[in-house]
Amino acid sequence: MPENRMKCALTGLQWTLGLVILIEAVLFLMPSARHDFARTHMPDFLRQVLGWGEILGAVLLLIPRTAARGGWVLVGIFVLVIVVHLLHGMFNVGSLAVYTAAAFAVAIGKGA
């Protein structure tokens, strides 16, 4: 694949991931999500840390100069979320694995 097409594809992935994660993180922090999260019996503080961490990573991902840093922040957050899910017996982490791989690809591609 020519380098120009690769850059275009990577930028598309960057923006798609950044916008999707930003929207999902804002919804995750909304008061209506507190009730659903409470059923996990995890402290609300964890929801706040993860949600704001995702927002920080997504915003950094959407800024061209900080896209690589944003990708690494999201990789760290997603790995933490996967571990928390697995430790609580929630094994449906496939979408989180895809998000992690996408953030990793952007972090590597934009960091070069």
pLDDT single digits (tens) 64-108: 999 999 999 999 999 999 999 999 899 999 999 999 999 999 999
Q: Which domain holds residue 71?
A: 3-111
- pLDDT value of position 33: 87
Q: Which residue has the higher pLDDT, 40 or 63?
A: 63
What separation in angstroms does the CA of 58 have from each of 28, 51, 84, 87, 106? 14, 11, 20, 25, 12
Q: What's the structural domain count of the chain?
A: 1
Average pLDDT over residues 21-30: 96
Locate 81 and state its tokens.
């979320």
Whether residue 1 has pLDDT greater than 80: no
Across 31-44, average pLDDT: 85
Please state the rounded mean pLDDT for residues 21-45: 90
Say how many CA atoms lie within 13 Å of 109 toward its Cβ: 20
Is the Cβ–Cβ distance between 40 and 69 less than 8 Å? no
Phi, psi for 93 (deg, rounded to 5): -115, 20
Query: Contact, 18 vs 58, CB < 8 A?
Result: yes
